[in-house]
Structure 1
């Protein structure tokens, strides 16, 4: 059996659509968007106490301190190591530690190795020989760790000192806690590189492989691996869909493509739509914004909904009243849209647009961005940024702003990954190597 016989009809058409004379493959790359939380995240530090504790008593000391401050500590510092070997400290802390040790050694309280010792008093001990005295001072000292106790907001210096001294280990050991106050980063690192940098500047820091402000890096890498090679074809189809409706005077040069990705048959195009805001509209283009229900995103979502309905027994065919204008424009309006729609093989039993992929010529407006969210798309790729009207990007980039003040005053929503919403989806901007001139929108106030 040949390979082509195992592929759905929609797959054959995808190949033909992507390489015919009317569709241009767009060379480029995917640029991951930053979330609003990532952009708003301001680097902050907090003051914490660190102390020297005996290695063998680390567990007991940790338990004592944590039980005392558990109800008082409000800062999550799980990205910081609690117990650190002296040689793992950043340079500036090691220097401070050496200075303390040297000063203490001169006064007889701290050994040069950095371990505090109780001074040996010789007065009134005439029966102790000089040899015995030197043996005591040269006795091996216990190994120690540097302990990150808690934030300074939780308890006072004196309270922490008393807690440490109340443990059996400090009552019987020659080790003095030598409590110090240092600054540490409040937020966890976003990469191994950042963790290494913070470890050198502040305190040993751990990158735990996630992103507290956005999608997991592994999730993004896997998605890019799946979509990068085909994204140029889908962006070309979106451009063609927008050109088709625009050429007939139905809308602007905006297009949308929906792709269903299946483990068994691979990706297939299930719907395309161009902008149709001027279809059935009597007002002049200069006098209004047209029919907002006929934006390319809204239309292509409607086409998917119609396909979902036809998979149920009670909706074998869709009934339409041709005498009444279809203001939702959720049926094909051009030959190109109809060609793909009629051959679509959308898998039955699906829910809304759950986990489907959406490719757009331009960043969608806030209304369409929320429609994408409510429709449960899994991945979105758009071309040109629309910094004045777009709803997906969370920062102002690439716009000809007259001033930074003007740029800062514009709302940036970042609706693709927003903690206040009950659905999140991955989003990229498509960066063309050679942007097609027909997709360039100079009047960025237009709603896509």
Structure 2
């Protein structure tokens, strides 16, 4: 065990230190992609471009804006409005040099610029040429070309660089219009990664114990509470009363009134090649979807600001619930479904709820309603009992608000929705379940189970992943990661199993 991991273990509560295995398997966190990132990340359209001397570029831009309007989306704010001839993609340079006075524009120290006018569908070609003819310096050689361009903003600097080579100079504004804000992902991942290996190793341990005892499949779940000093811990109030409307936040893509203009000075490269430098680059796009959902980025930022005032305060993490799969407990093991109400995630969430009820000193009901208890949410293993006997670290919170869930396998659709409804803040899982999982967004291909003849012809796989960890149309979103590790044994299950 490394020194850094020893430091993490020593900071845990006594119960966690007692039940964690001596050897902690290390792993890497990989953020989950949203359905929008995977399906809408490249949507192409056609745009008009022209070229003009440096000194009249603002006149050209004003003509384009008059035809296309001031709508930021129509003006393609993620594309550089004005680009030097030397900076356009090579295939466009070859094409444009052979049209009109292209060779003169590209030779020597040219004072010409290429200008993106706007989407082809939003302006008339005849009106565009008519407007450009009013500019003295280009009326004798009006050039209007059509190029394919990405209609949506890039979600990373790597993607922006790739599009700059393939289509047009593209700007990455450190936001993500198709998913969680990058600053939120990186900041949260830096915190979670410090002890994620501990909780994932513990989830594997409880999963194997349950399988050995014959209670269920080798699937385990661990829920922890991360306490940040100075942060408001009243989860019930934050989840149900506080919130912000989507209109209260800047989109992060829009250009200002002056940001759309090209600088007429040739030596001002940033002014010439860039647009909308005043845009709110650090404001998340679409993270808040309705009045019930707090903005994750703002909450994290407030927490960081509050911790600065107390240098002695330290972040603490405490285990709240641990549960294994118990689908075969008190049930004959026939078929491959078992008791769906005894999945590991559901059992863990129910144990959290029971702790909250216990904290309110409600009278216990010993009456047994039915002979068979479907939920199986009472502790079955000794590790489950030890954690269950401990008090909830934040008993006034709303169920699982802002808690962290670590699972050996990707939860099924039923469990994924339960995780959302419980207001879980983060989820980390190891084994992806392409056929049955509800968190991943990747398309489900056919014949993914690899079972020879087990599925029947054309019945295995197909369709699109649900990506329930971050969906803009839902009233709660949580951050998700896949945990990759080669230092711990795998826990294989049937590909059709609902975890």
Matched, 1:307 2:355: yes
CA-CA distance at 1:205 after TM superposition:
0.9
The equivalent position to 1:321 in structure 2, one of 361, 367, 370, is 367
Structure 1 consecutive aligned stretches of length 4 or more whose deviation exceeds 6 Å:
7-10, 71-74, 172-175, 402-407
Question: CA–CA distance in 1 between the matches of 2:358 and 2:59?
Answer: 67
**Distance in 2, Cα, partners of 1:336 & 1:251:** 16
Contact 1:257/1:358 (8 A) holds in 2: yes
Cα distance in structure 1, aligned partners of 2:31 and 2:390: 32
Could you tell me which runs of 5 or more consecutive residues in structure 1 were left unpaired when the two chains were aligned. Answer: 1-6, 105-111, 116-140
Structure 2 unaligned residues grouped into runs of 5+ = 1-8, 230-314
Deviation at 1:399, TM superposition (A): 4.5
Q: CA deviation at 1:51?
A: 1.5
Question: Structure 1 residue 360: deviation in Å?
Answer: 0.9
Q: CA deviation at 1:97?
A: 4.0
Distance across 2 between alignment mates of 1:72 and 1:218: 27
Residues 154 and 266 of structure 1: CA distance in aligned 2, closer, same or farther (over 3 Å): same
How far apart are residue 17 of structure 1 and its match?
1.9
Query: For residues 322 and 243 of structure 1, what CA distance do their matches in structure 2 show?
Result: 30
- Displacement of 1:8 in angstroms is 12
Q: CA deviation at 1:211?
A: 2.3
Structure-1 separation of matches of 2:369 and 2:122: 73
Output the TM-score relative to the length of structure 2: 0.71
In structure 2, the CA distance between the partners of 1:158 and 1:232, relative to structure 1 (3 Å rule), is: same
From the superposition, tell whether residues 279 and 92 of structure 1 become closer, same or farther in structure 2 (CA, over 3 Å): closer
Higher percent of residues as helix: 1
Distance in 2 (CA, whole Å) between partners of 1:287 and 1:95 is: 64
Structure-2 residue corresponding to 1:421: 474
CA contact (8 A) 2:86 2:106 kept: no
1:243 deviates by: 3.3
Q: Does 1:266 align with 2:316?
A: yes
2:416 matched to 1:379?
no
Cα distance in 2 for partners of 1:224, 1:75 equals 35
- CA distance, structure 2, for counterparts of residue 78 and residue 405 of structure 1: 44
1:436-447 paired onto structure 2 within 5 Å: 436=489, 439-441=491-493, 443-447=494-498
**2:13 is paired with a residue of what secondary structure?**
helix
* Greater CA drift, 414-423 or 175-184: 175-184
Q: Residues 172 and 96 of structure 1: is their aligned pair in 2 closer, same or farther, counting only changes over 3 Å?
A: closer
> 1:238: Cα distance to partner?
1.4
Cα contact 1:25–1:232 (8 A) shared by 2 = yes
Q: Secondary structure at the match of 2:202?
A: helix
Q: What is residue 18 of structure 2 aligned with on the other side?
A: 16
Of 170, 174, 196, the residue aligned with 1:205 is 170
Query: Contact (CA 8 Å) 2:52, 2:137: kept in 1 or not?
Result: no
Q: Are 2:211 and 2:217, in contact at CA under 8 Å, matched by a contact in 1? A: yes
Q: Deviations over 1:407-435 (max 9, x none)?
A: 76255222112233222212222222144
How large is the Cα RMSD of the aligned pairs?
3.3
The size of the alignment, in residue pairs, is: 398
Aligned to 1:147: 115
**2:211 paired with 1:158:** no
Partner residue of 2:404 out of 357, 360, 363? 357
Q: Whole-Å Cα distance in 1 between the matches of residues 131 and 382 of structure 2?
A: 79
Query: Relative to structure 1, is the Cα distance of residues 240 and 201 closer, same or farther in structure 2, using a 3 angstrom cutoff?
Result: closer
Change (3 A) 1:249 1:60: same
Normalised by the length of structure 1, the TM-score is 0.78
**Per-residue deviation, 1:235:** 1.5
Give the whole-Å Cα distance in 1 for the aligned partners of 2:169 and 2:347. Answer: 52
Larger CA Rg, structure 1 vs 2? 1
Structure 1 pair 73–382 and aligned structure 2 pair: CA distance change class (3 A): closer
Answer whether contact 1:252 1:275 (CA < 8 A) is retained.
yes
Deviation, structure 1 residue 304: 1.0
Give the distance between the partners of 1:237 and 1:317, measured in 2 at CA. 33
Alpha-carbon distance in structure 2 between the residues aligned to 1:423 and 1:188? 24
Q: What is the CA distance between 1:50 and its match in structure 2?
A: 1.1
Q: Output the CA distance in 2 between the equivalents of 1:227 and 1:173.
A: 58
Q: Work out whether residues 96 and 102 of structure 2, in 8 Å CA contact, stay in contact via their aligned partners in 1.
A: no
Q: CA-to-partner distance for each residue in 1:105-129, whole Å, 9 max, x for gaps?
A: xxxxxxx3569xxxxxxxxxxxxxx
- Per the alignment, in what secondary structure is the counterpart of residue 57 of structure 2? helix
Match of 2:65 in 1: 66
- Deviation of residue 156 (structure 1)? 3.0
Q: Residue in 1 aligned with 2:249?
A: none
Task: Tell me the distance in 2 between the aligned counterparts of 1:184 and 1:93.
Answer: 12
Equivalent residues in 2 for 1:17-32, closer than 5 Å? 17-20=19-22, 25-32=24-31
Matched, 1:83 2:82: yes
* 1:390 counterpart residue number: 437
- Check the 8 A contact 1:271/1:303 in 2, yes or no: yes
Distance in 1 between residues matched to 2:477 and 2:102, nearest whole Å: 56
